Structure 1
Amino acid sequence: MRHLRGNLATTVVTVLVLAVLGVVAGYVWSALAPATRYVLVDGTPHLADPETQSLIEADGWFAAVTGGFGLVCAVAGYVLSRHRPVEVLVGLAAGGLLAGYVAMLVGGTAKGVVQAAGPGGYTTTTSLDLTAYGVLFAWPLVATTVFWVIEFAVTYNQRAR
């Protein structure tokens, strides 16, 4: 029973640490990603520039930021997980998903103000949003992949000796 509690505690701590890092990643994403401009006409938002690429850029920045956090978490998790690698790996996968979701929520609320009122309506910069939800998997995918690559490289070197 004690062994099970230790395993569960390791996984839970990993998930919680990554969730807190998700808050940081959300603010980093909101600082780096371009805001999309909308015009509010009768309370309905319309793109100010229908040919804007800012929605795609926001998704790309989200993937880059959360992927970078996943890389750092994988290296730190591997270094700190000498006795419980499986539990940390499970924590990286679950915590990465949670952290990505938290980053999306935090980053999505960090921007957004009405800038000016005009004859066509209010011009506004909205909060960030994801249009490609697959980027939510960047953090756990990078974290678990890098973790296994490090594990393979270390194990391969040990076996070669």
Structure 2
Amino acid sequence: MTAPGADPLVWYQSAPGTRAAAPVRPAGARRRAVGVTLGAAFLLTVLGAPLGLLWAAIAPDTPVLKTAEGAIYAQPAPEQPIAADGWFSLLGLGFGVLAAIALWFLLRRWRGPVGLVAGVLGGLGAAVVAWQLGRRIGLSTFHRLLETAPNGQAFTKPADLRAGGLEWLVVPYGNLLLPAFGAAVAYTLLAGWSRWPSLRPEPDLEGAWPQAGPAAGEGFSSGPGDRPAR
């Protein structure tokens, strides 16, 4: 029995097999949250390197012709630049969704704003890294042919983005935003479908209800001949 006005679930914090949550100072908790957010965002940014390599391998190069004024498209309206933008958009959106799922399961303790902010910042960083790395693969060969090739020679230009880039050298726009967008949408949907209000697994109160030992003569009544419980 508990005293009048006492928390009826206070026994759970000291019940055998359970572990009460240790008090955490707000300042320390905020520092750890910021550290986890920046660490996860940095890891996602680094993963933008393989994303850029994959994009450079899939996106087609654009055929060009060397002229006295420079390189021009070999075709009046080439489809390769559009395909490069499309592949980057699809890969970036998929990267963001996978990043949100990974953050949701790997950072269970920090589910909520920490995972969401980490996914958005990491998606933006990964997009910039993937774009800058992917567009530079084969770029030195293109510049060398542009300087040394005779007029009329055909070669290819590496894939680049036309629907995305950086404004003021720091602000991404266009399809560079898709990884962050995919991460934000996927993480928000996971949070909306969570069956726990705190977004983290909570203890099962029914399974943790304390059972009285038979030696103590205590228990719940299960039949007409049983001794009534307290």
TM bin (shorter chain): 0.7 to 0.9
Aligned to 2:85: 59
Structure 2: stretches of 5+ with no match in the other structure: 1-26, 165-173, 199-230
Aligned to 2:125: 98
Matched, 1:155 2:216: no
Pairwise CA RMSD of aligned residues?
2.2
Cα drift, residue 43 of structure 1: 5.6
Aligned to 1:135: 175
Structure exhibiting the larger radius of gyration computed from Cα positions? 2
In 1: Cα distance, 2:40 partner to 2:68 partner: 46
Matched, 1:8 2:34: yes
For residue 180 of structure 2, what is the amino acid of its counterpart? P
For residue 158 of structure 2, what is the amino acid of its counterpart? S
Instruction: Confirm or deny: 8 A CA contact 1:111 1:128 kept in the other structure.
Output: no
Q: Which structure is higher in RCO with an 8 Å CA cutoff and minimum separation 6?
A: 1
Aligned to 1:109: 136
In 1: Cα distance, 2:196 partner to 2:42 partner: 31
Deviating beyond 2 angstroms after TM superposition, the runs of 4 or more aligned structure 1 residues are 111-119, 155-158
* TM-score, with structure 1 as normaliser: 0.88
Cα drift, residue 110 of structure 1: 1.4
Matched, 1:41 2:51: no
Instruction: Confirm or deny: 8 A CA contact 2:67 2:151 kept in the other structure.
Output: no
Cα drift, residue 136 of structure 1: 0.7
In 2: Cα distance, 1:40 partner to 1:8 partner: 52
Cα drift, residue 117 of structure 1: 4.5
Cα drift, residue 119 of structure 1: 4.6
Aligned positions, number:
157
Task: Classify the secondary structure of the residue corresponding to 2:93.
Answer: helix
* TM-score, with structure 2 as normaliser: 0.63
Q: Give identity over the alignment, percent.
A: 29
Greater Cα shift, 148-157 or 97-106: 148-157
Cα drift, residue 40 of structure 1: 2.4
Cα drift, residue 111 of structure 1: 2.9
Task: Classify the secondary structure of the residue corresponding to 1:155.
Answer: coil
